[in-house]
Copies of this chain bind each other. A is one copy, B any other.
Amino acid sequence: MGKSIFYHAGCPVCVSAEHDVLNLVKDVEVVNIGVNKARISEAEKAGVKSVPALLTPSGNVLHLNFGASIADVKG
């Protein structure tokens, strides 16, 4: 099983989801695209429409609840 990537932007919904994801899923890279804006385009290419979102090893994106759209993160 490969690595998952959890994209978030520091919002309250993101932080809450992050706790659950880190408890439940092994081998997760956490990326705050609110801070690390260089990785927004990578997230968009993967299909991330809003945060928090989990990109799974199979390449699917699971949007977990709704914190902010990518457009909001770009500001």
A48 to chain B, nearest CB (A): 12
Which of A24, A26, A57 has most chain B Cβ within 10 Å? A24
Query: Counting CB contacts under 8 A, is A19 at the interface?
Result: yes
- A16 interface contact, C-beta 8 A: yes
Number of interface residues, chain A, beta carbon within 8 A: 21
Residue numbers of A with Cβ under 8 A of B are: 1, 4, 16-17, 19-21, 23-26, 56-58, 60-66
How many protomers of this protein does the assembly include?
A: 2
Residue of B at shortest CB range from A49? B65
Assess whether A23 is in contact with B62, with CB atoms less than 8 Å apart.
no
Query: Most chain-B CB neighbours within 10 Å: which of A20, A58, A60, A66?
Result: A20
